[in-house]
Amino acid sequence: MSKNSGKKGRGAIELGGVEFERGAGGEIHQVAGGDVPVLTTQGGVPVADDQNSLRAGQRGPTLMEDQHFREKIFHFDHERIPERVVHARGFGVHGTFETYESLSDITRADIFQRAGEKTDMFVRFSTVAGNKGSADLARDVRGFACRFYTKEGNWDIVGNNIPVFFIQDAIKFPDLIHAAKQEPDRGFPQAQTAHDNFWDFISLTPESINMALWIMSDRTIPRSFRFMEGFGVHTFRMINAEGKSTFVKFHWKPKQGLQSVVWNEALKLNGADPDFHRRDLWDAIQMGDFPEWELGLQLFDEDFAEKFDFDVLDPTKIIPEEEVPIRIVGKMTLNRCVDNFFQETEQVAFQTGNVVPGIDFTNDPLLQGRNFSYLDTQLKRLGGPNFTHIPVNAPRCPFHHFQQDGHMAMHNPKGRANYEPNSWGGEMGGPREAPEKGFTSHAEDVAGEKRRVRSETFADHYSQARQFYLSQTQTEQNHIADAFIFELSKVETPAIRSRIVSHLLNVDEDLAKSVGEGLRLKEMPQPADAARPTRMDLKTSPKLSVLLNGPESFKGRKLGVLVTDGVDADLFKALKSAIEAEGAMFEVVAPMVGGVKASDGSWIEAKQKVDGGPSLLYDAVAVLASKDGAESLTRIAPAKDFVTDAFAHCKFIAYSPDVMTLLEKTGIALDLDKGCMELSAPEDARGFVESCRALRHWEREPKVKPA
């Protein structure tokens, strides 16, 4: 029952246990009081009514003297800022880095001087080509940008989940991105490389072929941000206190192991949950399952660089781990989600140029260009040169400089002096240089003619592409061929398809033939003219395979369990207990989100309705149903999709005996394999969970995707 609240035209009401006041027009007002703060304008003026603009009479015109209305609309109209030119869609989280050992013999970087040292971090994962509203599971490189808030300033490793890149010189970056993004005359496709412009560029840029093999692999459809590697891509230098330089490549190794999805699964996931990767990382951190990566260094000297088969300054090449083993030096733990997405994830400004004393650049021509581009792009996106005043971009150590003014300046220097040298002493005089402590570039001998020329040592474009392909398992090689066929089938120009196949002939003849047959080329092209012949003697590298570097347990993964009324309560509890003991997540799916009643009369809450909780969302699935429940599932199309998709995607499937009715209706019963396990008794649950550690039953794939 309403009562007079003391304000004209308002009465107190309750909706779902929350108290409100209702205005004369039926609008809802929430009022401050107790621990509820007072709503104010940006100027701090308390707001009396946030539901109605000021008007002349109850039905008269709105008055422009309404400063609260004007401020609210004015600010809303300007909320958007330009999105990033690349890596627009991203997700950021906070974490810490722990140094395992002192590296003082290698670098004077403060972060690596003391074992056990902990450093705050901010990390942003992203896709490259799509806009902010694109889906998470596009086939794309993933950005893997890491900021260390060290005692000597911010250090950024602005990396990717792939260790090589498309191009060797930054001058081609605009062309690459223009070709990859939407075609300019039509504004599509979005977040896809399966179109003419992209493959036209690749077909005419042989240096991109190694990267093309990587992006057609399962590396570009990761199961989760948590289950992918990160790479610094370029060769950097580490400098010790004596000025000695050591070349270094940075690697992030996930302690959760590597894992990807399959392409059909990715396509469907983009519809089922476009935020799949974001939600996965958010949920894991909120549940306390903090993902961890170890930082590894490939360290080598000038002698190795001279003798190595490829140029260490070429960003389209790797140094195999078998040739230069990775030295693990620390661990990153991501343990806190952002407080506000825009304030932190959207406004963070990573820069390859953010290095600290003891870390330095090399003459990698792509890195040199990135050092300019990543600084320059912030000017328009974040509104001016003072983007380092934004908290997520500001260093956590003391900082002092004479840079002043500009839009949104928050840290102007105090005191009389805003220049140096000056005559003033102490605090009034401001900061001074620190020759012994400050950043010093490596004293490298440089000589040569000023020319637009590329080193001949960059000219081998196929050998490492072949090495990568041959390092994959047969399953992964099949996926690469299928990906090329899918992408090139979307290309409308036959000559472009043929050119790509001509490049693949320089990589592996069987791969090229498989792709050519999949495209039904009328005749195979000749191999593309190569600047350098493909080397056939490079050893394979097992570290390049996802499947050979997977996890040893089901920890951190998720089991989706479809249940019905009358489900065996003991079996359900046993499976839940076994999954949780493994350190994995257990999510209940039901015909209705309200849940089901188990055989013992207990109520089981559901997280997902089967329509919105497809098996795509899970690493493995189980269907536990009573006889009547299983029969009812045969009449629910999404329930049938739940098992057929899981089967087609080679996932492990557990089922209670009565579910055979559903399996027969879907046709799966005729093809049951070792990846499908009947749970006849509670003690069977443990064996199923142990099987799930393999993540996928790849032996099934030839049946569900025949050649």
Q: Which residues does the annotation mark as catalytic?
A: 87, 160
Question: Strands 676-678 and 653-655, how do they pair?
Answer: parallel
149 labeled binding residue:
no
84 labeled binding residue:
yes
Choose among 574, 610, 566: nearest CA to 687. Answer: 574
Q: Contact, 558 vs 669, CB < 8 A?
A: no
Q: Contact, 220 vs 265, CB < 8 A?
A: no
186 labeled binding residue:
no
Per-residue DSSP letter, 42: T
Residue recorded with tokens 């590597």: 258
Q: Contact, 620 vs 692, CB < 8 A?
A: yes
- What angle (nearest 5°) sits at the alpha carbon of residue 627, between those of residues 626 and 633? 85
Q: For the chain, give percent helix, strand, coil, nearest 5.
A: 30, 20, 50
Cα gap 663→672, rounded to integer Å:
9
Per-residue DSSP letter, 514: H
- DSSP H helical segments within 250-358, as ranges? 263-272, 276-286, 302-307, 341
Task: State phi, psi for 90 to the nearest 5 degrees.
Answer: -145, 170
- Secondary structure (DSSP) of 469-487: HHTS-HHHHHHHHHHHHHH
Report which residue type is found at 447.
Answer: A
**What's the Cα-to-Cα distance from 249 to each of 317, 357, 368, rounded to whole Å?**
12, 17, 16
DSSP SS3 for 4: strand
Cα gap 671→678, rounded to integer Å:
14
173 labeled binding residue:
yes
Tokens of 360: 């330095």
What does the CA dihedral 127, 556, 612, 676 come to, rounded to 10 degrees?
120
Choose among 234, 191, 198, 187: nearest CA to 88. Answer: 191
114 labeled binding residue:
no
DSSP SS3 for 466: helix
How many residues are there in the chain?
707
> Strand runs (DSSP E) across 469-600, as ranges?
558-563, 585-590, 596-597
Known binding-site positions for heme = 84, 124, 173, 370, 374, 381
Known binding-site positions = 84, 124, 173, 370, 374, 381
